Copies of this chain bind each other. A is one copy, B any other.
């Protein structure tokens, strides 16, 4: 998963982009980058491993001049973790430059790469996104948007793209619409972002979603929208509402905070925990859902788990802390609230189950008498090929165990998941038009032919490692 942000036509576009990336940091913490283009059409890039707050000093920001900028925060999905794989990509094409930032995952990256390589293209990263840059370089359309449209024919899978071609900013969203992308106005300029929270932070006024299949071009001639890609059924990612997006955002036009509340209420209806004394969240992604569960069930909402503010990415696991060290340092139980109680612990999802297991043992250690686990989504049983980094099936705990085995494995007194229908019914615009492949196993498109190669960035045959 990644966050993307772009600006056209506002002074100091890079500084705004930095600000936007701060608010999209939850979408990726592995690396961050900004490309800015100045009035003399000179493009500059700064990329760094780590957080936005670490990567851009005064010197970098001063260099990133001009009224056009795009930025990217990366959460490694396809391609190894290395500075070579940080985005935006900046390259020269046809006597000009191209910059590209991509959120999503292409399902035919292996095939695209092979075709391009057979045509003599060289690849300098292991990212699937690089194939799109090559295709744009080879497209011959009369306008920038025509070139992008041409390049995207035959590109399958999930993509939200921000592109700068010379001094045109281009935006594209795949016809299925897996990932969110919005646009807003800031003075005379335009702002594009993965989530509305990034518009808010720069003071831009929300205009609308970029539509599935839409390509937008903005330049000195104004804004143009084209729908040149073959139409497809809509498959918004339900997981954006469940976990990924920030609660202060609207994604797919619906408030995330409200959808999580609704998920929590639905969960209380589907899987009540009648005798429980208190309900609490695994902070912070489940706060809204737990509040919804508490509302609906009438059980008292407590802050029984504290999340340590200071556990950074570079957390060094203390040797003495043992097996559950990371969980113990990250989450701290409030003994006074738990001791002797029958409790409902709400989390948004369970992937490998290790965190949940650690939390249950923590909560029992702090005196909880009964632990009733409630999950505000359905069991995850299949990998995602559309841009979210879920592991292989073998590592998905719900794909490996029966309900009873899971109850024993997690050490809970009871375990309740939302049904797929219940989950979809909580979506702000109704249950239709959502992807739920990772929950149902029903993929809305053909799945990749060589998923492991895809994971490695779409490299075919010999792969390139980055030391």
Hey, which bits of chain A sit against chain B, CB under 8 A? Answer: 12, 15-16, 18-19, 22-23, 25-26, 29, 36, 41-46, 51-54, 56-58, 60-61, 63-64, 83, 89-98, 113-114, 117-124, 133-134, 137-138, 166, 196-197, 200-202, 246-248, 250, 255, 257-258, 284, 287-288, 291, 301-303, 306-312, 314-316, 318-321, 325, 328-329, 332-337, 366, 459-467
The reply to whether B124 and A314 form a contact with Cβ atoms under 8 Å apart is: no
Also in contact, A319 and B123, with CB within 8 A (given A42-B462, A309-B26): no
- Within the assembled complex, what's the spacing in Å between the Cα atoms of A23 and B362? 15
The reply to whether A42 and B463 form a contact with Cβ atoms under 8 Å apart is: yes
The reply to whether B328 and A43 form a contact with Cβ atoms under 8 Å apart is: no
The reply to whether B137 and A318 form a contact with Cβ atoms under 8 Å apart is: no
The prevalent SS among residues of A at the interface is: mixed
Also in contact, A467 and B64, with CB within 8 A (given A134-B122, A310-B26): yes
Q: What residues of B have a CB within 8 angstroms of the CB of A197 in the complex?
A: 306, 332
Closest residue of chain B to A16, judged by CB? B320
Also in contact, A466 and B44, with CB within 8 A (given A124-B89, A250-B336, A303-B247): yes
Q: What residues of B have a CB within 8 angstroms of the CB of A46 in the complex?
A: 467
Also in contact, A332 and B200, with CB within 8 A (given A248-B306, A303-B257, A467-B63): yes
Also in contact, A53 and B332, with CB within 8 A (given A91-B124, A306-B247, A465-B42): no
- Within the assembled complex, what's the spacing in Å between the Cα atoms of A45 and B315? 21
**Closest-CB distance, A52 to chain B (whole angstroms):** 7
4 nearest A-B residue pairs (beta carbon): A15-B320, A120-B138, A95-B461, A63-B467
A22-B311, A119-B120, A248-B333 known; 17 other A-B pairs, CB under 8 Å? Answer: A18-B318, A19-B320, A22-B308, A22-B310, A23-B329, A25-B308, A25-B310, A43-B465, A90-B464, A92-B113, A97-B462, A121-B122, A201-B329, A246-B306, A255-B335, A257-B303, A284-B307
Q: What residues of B have a CB within 8 angstroms of the CB of A64 in the complex?
A: 467
Closest residue of chain B to A337, judged by CB? B257
- Within the assembled complex, what's the spacing in Å between the Cα atoms of A242 and B49? 39
The reply to whether A43 and B462 form a contact with Cβ atoms under 8 Å apart is: yes
- Within the assembled complex, what's the spacing in Å between the Cα atoms of A328 and B16? 13
**Closest-CB distance, A278 to chain B (whole angstroms):** 12
Also in contact, A314 and B53, with CB within 8 A (given A23-B308, A462-B42): yes
- Within the assembled complex, what's the spacing in Å between the Cα atoms of A319 and B25? 18
- Within the assembled complex, what's the spacing in Å between the Cα atoms of A306 and B246? 8
**Closest-CB distance, A367 to chain B (whole angstroms):** 11
Q: What residues of B have a CB within 8 angstroms of the CB of A53 in the complex?
A: 310-312, 314-316
The reply to whether A117 and B94 form a contact with Cβ atoms under 8 Å apart is: yes
**Closest-CB distance, A11 to chain B (whole angstroms):** 9
- Within the assembled complex, what's the spacing in Å between the Cα atoms of A463 and B58? 23
The reply to whether B334 and A257 form a contact with Cβ atoms under 8 Å apart is: yes
The reply to whether B97 and A464 form a contact with Cβ atoms under 8 Å apart is: yes
The reply to whether B314 and A45 form a contact with Cβ atoms under 8 Å apart is: no
Also in contact, A200 and B335, with CB within 8 A (given A117-B95, A314-B53, A316-B56): yes
Q: What residues of B have a CB within 8 angstroms of the CB of A58 in the complex?
A: 316
The reply to whether A247 and B334 form a contact with Cβ atoms under 8 Å apart is: yes
The reply to whether A467 and B45 form a contact with Cβ atoms under 8 Å apart is: yes
Q: What residues of B have a CB within 8 angstroms of the CB of A12 in the complex?
A: 319-320
